[in-house]
Amino acid sequence: MNILPSHWYNIVPDLPKPLPPPRDPEDDYIFSRIELLPKLFPSELLDQEFTAERYIQIPGEVLDAYRRIGRPTPLVRAVNLERLLNTPARIYFKREDLSPTGSHKINTALAQAYYAKKEGVQMLTTETSAGQWGSALACACAMFDIRCLVFMTRSSYIRKPYRRILMKLYGADVVPSPSDRTEIGRRLLMENQEHPGSLGIAISEAVETCMKDGSAKYAVGSVMNFVLLHQTVIGLETMRQLEEIGEIPDVMIGCVGGGSNFSGFIFPFIGNRLKDGDFKNTEFIAVESKASPKMTEGSYIYEHGDTAGYLPMLKMYTVGRSYVPPPIHAAGLRYHAAAPILSLLIKEGLVKAVAYTQEEVLEAARVFARVEGIVPAPETAHAVKQAIVEAEHCRRRNLKKTIILCFSGHGLLDLSVFEEYGTY
């Protein structure tokens, strides 16, 4: 069987309710964020954002790039973890850590760099915190020969030298955010020279750069429909791999920053349930950090994706764009909101959300590394924690459930975290 799919899957036509459109603030009569979108994104990506089509062909060049970076990725059974937990459950994990930059982010980075290149864009700008997204985009830009400018939150810029170096190695221009290159950056630096930055601020800086430079466009690591669309390659592969081994998932788990790896992982399954009634008994569990508890404690409202409010408002679960989460090592989960499509599925009760603290998940990561030999990224550790919770529940109730988790990335460039916490 051909595991790598030929099309991405767009879940929007199969949702239980209409997806609320992006909106401009009602009281702004001068500046339309929606009008700004074509300046920020390549046309084909905006077209994907609003398409009514269910299956979207993956361009040949992107498929080829997917193969070269190691797709399809394996689905592996965590036999040692099962044995350690003494659980009758079967645990599988989808290895998105096996990409050149160590996470799932490359799945959309390659697509975005491809469409940008095709439209003659000279440079892509973006934000990053721990650097997973920034390094994936830098890698994709290198592969498609296009310039890359990354605004990296200052705290990570200082504390995470290796991904910063990796991005530079790929030829990207990396600046600590807030920076003096943008208005919002300069304003914040005036307030505090040592401003630690946040994803929301870094997004605003990347967007502002494109507003001023017509040859640059903005690449986005999560949240937007088209990003989730590209990530469905994860779930589509997983579905075929499960078919091959004759497994039907009882529980599917993923961590949520903006929601892209988890959404890409589960949408093909939820879509089949909504369309054809398959996977009726599968539980879908989104795991977030207690440091940014948008899904478990936030509100389902219209909010901007960035701190400055340069981007349109989207209807999503959020703790508010000016919320500054405590600094945690799973920097990719510090984002203030969950993608609109994922938020709608949570609202409709199709996805359950849970939250954990940093200590809990790092301990789970240690356990996993000890038995399976793979170090989860601090973000991924949230999903691992929930998988362990489920497997232990199965042990107590003697349930032979099939648990699948999206192993979004490895933590080899986050090792200092474990030292800091003494989690060896």
Partner 1 sequence: MAMVSLSGAFRKRVLMVYLTAGDPYVDSWVIETLSEHGVDIFEFGIPTARPKYDGLTIKASYRRAIESGVTLEKSFQFIEGFRLRHKVVLTYFEYARSIGLERLMSYALNAGAEGVLLPDLLIDYSEDADVYVRLCKQYGFEPIFFITSSFPYKLISEVARLNPAFIYMGLMASTGTLLPITISRNISIIKSLINNTPLLTGFAISEPKQVLECIRAGADGVVIGSAIIRLISGGGEKQHIKEELRNYISSIKEALEAPV
Element at 363 (helix H, strand E): helix 358-372
Residues in 108-147 that interact with ligand PLP by CB under 6 A: 132-133
**Partners of residue 103 on adjacent β-strands:** 409
Q: Which residue's entry shows tokens 């200590």?
A: 359
Binding mask 1-20 for partner 1 (x = CB under 8 A): -----------xxxxxxxxx
Residue 170 structure tokens: 């790929």
State in angstroms the smallest separation of the CB of 408 from ligand PLP.
3
State in angstroms the smallest separation of the CB of 179 from ligand PLP.
20
Q: Does 377 bind ligand PLP (CB under 6 A)?
A: yes
Residue 320, by phi and psi: left (phi above 0), alpha (psi -120 to 50) or beta? left
Q: Does 256 bind ligand PLP (CB under 6 A)?
A: yes
State in angstroms the smallest separation of the CB of 357 from ligand PLP.
17
State in angstroms the smallest separation of the CB of 19 from partner 1.
4
Q: Are strands 7-9 and 299-304 parallel, antiparallel or unpaired?
A: unpaired
Q: Which residue's entry shows tokens 């590209």?
A: 230
Q: Which is nearer to ligand PLP, 222 or 402 (CB)?
A: 222
Q: Which residue's entry shows tokens 């075929």?
A: 240
Residues in 333-372 that interact with ligand PLP by CB under 6 A: 333
Q: Does 257 bind partner 1 (CB under 8 A)?
A: no
Q: Which residue's entry shows tokens 């697509």?
A: 111
CA 139 – CA 75 distance, rounded (Å):
24
Residue 101 structure tokens: 């930059």
Q: Which residue's entry shows tokens 């992107």?
A: 62
Q: Which is nearer to partner 1, 58 or 199 (CB)?
A: 58
Binding mask 24-43 for partner 1 (x = CB under 8 A): x-x--xx-x-xx-xx----x
Please give the C-alpha separations between residue 263 and each of 62, 66, 110, 404, in angstroms, as whole numbers: 20, 19, 18, 14
Q: Which is nearer to ligand PLP, 43 or 416 (CB)?
A: 416
CA 184 – CA 372 distance, rounded (Å):
45
Residues in 27-66 that interact with ligand PLP by CB under 6 A: none
**Partners of residue 301 on adjacent β-strands:** 316
Q: Which is nearer to ligand PLP, 200 or 409 (CB)?
A: 409
Which range binds ligand PLP by CB under 6 A, 234-242, 346-354, 366-374, 375-383?
A: 375-383
Q: Does 400 bind partner 1 (CB under 8 A)?
A: no
Q: Which is nearer to ligand PLP, 153 or 402 (CB)?
A: 153
Q: Which residues contact 24 (CB under 8 A, 6 or more apart)?
A: 32, 33, 34, 312, 313
Binding mask 288-317 for partner 1 (x = CB under 8 A): ------------------------x-----
Residue 398 structure tokens: 């003697």
State in angstroms the smallest separation of the CB of 336 from partner 1.
22
Under the rule (CB under 6 A), what is the footprint of ligand PLP?
A: 103, 132-133, 222, 255-262, 332-333, 377, 379-380, 408-409
